[in-house]
Amino acid sequence: MQATDEYVGVRNARIVLVDPERVRSVMTASWLNQMGWDDVFVLEPDAGDWPRERGPRVPRVPGLQRGREIDAAELVRVRATVLDFSTSLRFRARHVPGAWWAVRSRLDEARAKVGEATDLVLASDDGLLAHLAAPEAAALWPRARVQVLAGGNAAWFTAGLPAESGIGANATTALDDVWYKPYDHEHGADYEQHARAYLDWEVALVEQIKRDPTIRFRAYD
């Protein structure tokens, strides 16, 4: 429920929830209604013989043009500058050794920090974001051979290749690409401050909603 924007990209879209037991789907539908989503449905378990797929979800990206790729085994053998477009949290957890963390909307900052490159390899979780960023990177590094890590970081990790952790080489100015939960911050002097700030925000949330006429949240009594 806290990541609706990752799955529903259109306001007032029709949402169909699928759950054979109709437990999580009904609960989720209730929360979506409270959040102002009106066109929400729960699929009946015996509503029809629907086709099914197995394995990880493969998002369809209209207009995606895949550029030149390099597989993980080949990347190990070559000297290349790697830009990783994962979230800062995932990059901090693990990444290709020596990779720079970058944000697609701030590629000009990455260009200034990284400098010239002969071979530039773009990586992301599954490779899709890297493919989308490839034409932009090619425009900023016109002398470089720009390639995308085939299968993304997932392929690198699945192959059991070495990985680094920590934010390390940061090619952007701020770690604000995603919202950090209190426990996502590095443990240190500010950790308790972040936790208290979050609790204060959560306790005051109902009153904040009442004061903001743009929020469509229905509080059920």
| Residue with more model confidence, 125 or 48 | 125
Confirm whether 134 is domain-assigned. yes
Confirm whether 125 is domain-assigned. yes
Q: How many domains does the chain have?
A: 3
Tokens of 76: 């190990």
Which strand (E) or helix (H) includes residue 157?
Answer: helix 152-158
Give the CATH number, domain containing residue 83.
3.40.250.10
Confirm whether 127 is domain-assigned. yes
CA angle 169, 173, 178 (to 5 degrees): 90
Confirm whether 177 is domain-assigned. no
Model confidence at 21: pLDDT above 90: no
Among residues 73, 103, 102, 90, the alpha carbon closest in space to that of 165 is found at 90
Among residues 20, 26, 31, the alpha carbon closest in space to that of 41 is found at 26
pTM beyond 0.85: the answer is no
Instruction: Tell me the residue range of the domain where 33 lies.
Output: 4-42
Query: Are 84 and 22 part of one and the same domain?
Result: no
| Cβ atoms 141, 78 nearer than 8 A | no
Query: Are 86 and 126 part of one and the same domain?
Result: yes
| Residue with more model confidence, 112 or 180 | 112
pLDDT tens per residue across span 23-79: 899 999 999 998 888 899 999 877 777 788 888 777 788 778 888 999 999 999 999
Give me the pLDDT at residue 192, please.
77
- What is the Cα–Cα distance from 200 to 187, expressed in whole angstroms? 20
DSSP-assigned beta bridge partners for residue 15: 40
Strands 100-101 and 81-84: parallel
Confirm whether 89 is domain-assigned. yes
Confirm whether 217 is domain-assigned. no
Q: Please provide residue 10's backbone torsions phi and psi, each rounded to the nearest 5 degrees.
A: -125, 125
Model confidence at 189: pLDDT above 70: no
Among residues 80, 64, 179, the alpha carbon closest in space to that of 130 is found at 64
Query: Are 165 and 204 part of one and the same domain?
Result: no
Confirm whether 176 is domain-assigned. no
Query: Are 190 and 164 part of one and the same domain?
Result: no
Confirm whether 110 is domain-assigned. yes
Query: Are 190 and 123 part of one and the same domain?
Result: no
